[in-house]
Structures are given as structure tokens and as C-alpha cells.
Copies of this chain bind each other. A is one copy, B any other.
Amino acid sequence: MSRTEIASLGEFGLIKRLTDKFPITNSSTKKAVGDDAAVLDYGEKQILITTDLLLEGIHFDLVYVPLKHLGYKAAVVNFSDIYAMNGTPKQITVSLGVSKRFSVEDLEAIYEGIRLACQGYGVDLVGGDTSASLTGLTISISCIGEADRDKIVYRNGAKPNDLICVTGDLGSAYMGLQLLEREKIAFGGHDDVQPDFEGKDYILQRQLRPEARRDIIVGLSEKGIVPTAMMDISDGLSSELMHICTQSNVGCRVYEDKIPISYEAAVMAEELNINIVTAALNGGEDYELLFTVDLNDYDKILEMDGVGIVGHITPPQSGLYLTGREGEEIALKAQGWNSLE
């Protein structure tokens, strides 16, 4: 593979080379890359904005994360935040800080991942900033989305007796990360060695190339369900439940045997001697949706694919509890994935 030095293109040559292949697909995108700011046109809708900063060594390890996957994931985690508001992502801006060890081809790989994510989710790239970095790779993405005025879902609307719903399964991304870390140690960090990941595709995909649950947002809309509260699960179910309960001033009760766990994650957990329920409750980066719905929506929820009911909302004085398989009661703690510690 050829290696083009970034400095050989200059900042604007580089931006052009990286962004030329991004089409404009949303009518709300009036002006994208190439001016001081992007111009967006939203007549009737509310606008959503979210942002995420990814730093090498903290949020990703380039020893085992392919750059294309990194770009894909960096975009998708932002889309996930917009879906978590019951909105639709429409535009992103991408800022990169890159050290001299990266070539133009490396940046193209990151942008190719971002482009695939944008294509898959119907999102337009509208701006950004690329600069040198003295150290590692920095990726900062902001995402703009739209939502119907009366259908935005916050974290603070849950009320006693609401059902607590979770999409997909939890803990798989965390088990994928544990596998990658194990292989990294085993291979001494040589990035030219291909470890054997046979049969581990699912948990690796969950860690390296997660998807955002657009299908669930579409499904909820088709069923006429507006959740009472919703957020995406990026720091673990326990932590996110505590956010919803705190902001809504309610308690909750969830059931261990209802927590959705994949077969592959359970096998990996056994192999690594990790408690899979702990992984599901506290492992990060699943990017599934956690939401609460009125009890009247129970039948509609049962008809939806990929949604499980894991418990219910209680009055605030009842506290936040997990009921174990033997009926034992365990107070929920947020030992989630805190990137500040």
C-alpha cells in the first residue's frame, strides 16, 4: 500500500481528498464542507445535536482496531445518541487530530468507515477540521438530527408502572473487548500477527463495528409508541438506568433472568471466567436502546422484534433493584465504564 505524507497535500487538499466521495443526500443540507460553517434548513422539525470525542489509548487501541472500523464506529455512536432522542441523524462534522505516523491512506481508511456509516444511515458529512497532533489520534464528531416536535424522548419522563425495555443483547461488546485485550497480551502487541478469532465474530463485531438501532426507532414509530424515557446504552445498563431514574425521580426493578445475553458472549465469559451478568450490567459500548413505555403499550411491545422487557419503573422510595435468579435483591450500582477514572 502506498504512503502519501499528509503535509504533501496541505490542509485543504487533504480535506478535499477525504471528503470528495461523500454525497449530499438530505434536503436539509444546504451547504456542506467548504465554508466557515455548514448551512442546514429545518422548517418544521426540532433539531438535535450531540458530540463525541474519541482519544487514542482511552477510547480505542490501534493495535487491534482497524482504522476503517474506527471511523465507522465513531460515526455510529453519534447516530445512536440521536436515535436515543427518538430522532433521525442527518448531518455530521468530523474533526481529526493526527500525528506524523499517520499517512493520507490511513486518514482515507478512517473516512471510508465514516462514509460507509453515513451511507448506511442516510447522513451527510457537512464540515470539520483536520490538524496535526503531537501525540495520538483524536476524533471529534458532532451529529445533527431532526425530530418531530411532539415525539422527542428525554430521560426524565419515566413514571411508576412503566415497562423497562432493552433492545438486542448486552455485554457482547464488552466481551469482544476482553477477547481483543487477551489476544493483544498474548501476541505481545505485534500488529502484524493475525490472532485466531474463529467463532468469535459476533462479539468482535459488537465491539469493533457496532450498529445504532435505527430499526427500533422506525418500529416504535410504526407501532405508534412514544417511549416515556429513552437513552442509549453506552456505559452499561446499570449506569443508564440510574440516569433515567434520577432524572425522572423514580425507582426501578429489573430481573436478572430477563437481561438479554448472547450465546457467544456467555461462552466467552465462561472462557475468561467473567460473570456475564456483571458484564451485561456494567460493560460499555453496546449501543442498544434502553427505554420505558406506558403499561398500555405492553401488547405492542410484545409484537416488536429485538425488544425485551427487563423490568418496570417503581416509585422513587422503592429504590433501584435487580432481582436475582434465586429471588435475591441486589441494589443497582453504576460501576460503569467511566472514562475519567
Interface residues of A (CB under 8 A from B): 6-7, 10-12, 14, 30-31, 34-43, 46-53, 55-59, 80-82, 84-85, 87, 91, 93, 95-97, 126-136, 138, 140, 142-145, 147, 149, 152, 154-155, 231-232, 243, 247, 338-341
Q: Is the CB of B38 within 8 A of A49?
A: yes
Contacts of A6 in B (CB 8 A): 340
Contacts of A152 in B (CB 8 A): 31, 39
Q: Is the CB of B46 within 8 A of A30?
A: yes
Contacts of A34 in B (CB 8 A): 155, 247
Contacts of A46 in B (CB 8 A): 30, 39-41
Cα distance, A31 to B156, chains bound together (Å): 12
Contacts of A91 in B (CB 8 A): 49
* Cβ-closest 8 pairs across A and B: A140-B140, A37-B50, A53-B95, A36-B84, A37-B48, A36-B81, A135-B135, A142-B142
Interchain residue pairs with CB less than 8 A apart (29): A6-B340, A7-B341, A11-B338, A11-B340, A12-B243, A14-B340, A31-B154, A34-B155, A35-B155, A37-B50, A37-B81, A37-B87, A38-B49, A39-B147, A40-B48, A41-B46, A49-B126, A49-B127, A49-B144, A50-B127, A53-B95, A53-B96, A55-B132, A55-B138, A59-B131, A97-B138, A132-B341, A134-B135, A135-B135
Given contacts A7-B341, A135-B136, A340-B6, contact A47 B47 (CB under 8 A): yes
Other-chain contact of A340, B7, B37, B58 (Cβ < 8 Å): B7
Q: Which residue of chain B has its CB nearest to the CB of A44?
A: B43
Given contacts A41-B46, A51-B93, contact A36 B340 (CB under 8 A): no
Q: Report the copy number of this chain in the oligomer.
A: 2
Given contacts A11-B340, A85-B36, contact A55 B140 (CB under 8 A): no
Contacts of A39 in B (CB 8 A): 46-48, 85, 147, 152
Q: Is the CB of A340 within 8 A of B131?
A: yes
Q: Which residue of chain B has its CB nearest to the CB of A7?
A: B341
Q: In the complex, given contacts A14-B340, A36-B50, what are 15 additional A-B residue pairs having Cβ atoms less than 8 angstroms apart?
A: A11-B340, A36-B232, A37-B84, A38-B48, A40-B47, A41-B46, A43-B43, A49-B91, A49-B126, A49-B142, A50-B127, A51-B95, A52-B95, A58-B134, A138-B138
Cα distance, A50 to B155, chains bound together (Å): 27
Q: Is the CB of A10 within 8 A of B138?
A: no
CB distance from A220 to the nearest CB of B (A): 15
Q: Is the CB of B58 within 8 A of A49?
A: no
Q: Is the CB of A37 within 8 A of B85?
A: yes
Given contacts A14-B340, A48-B38, A140-B51, contact A56 B93 (CB under 8 A): no
Contacts of A127 in B (CB 8 A): 49-51
Q: Is the CB of A42 within 8 A of B47?
A: yes
Contacts of A35 in B (CB 8 A): 85, 154-155, 231
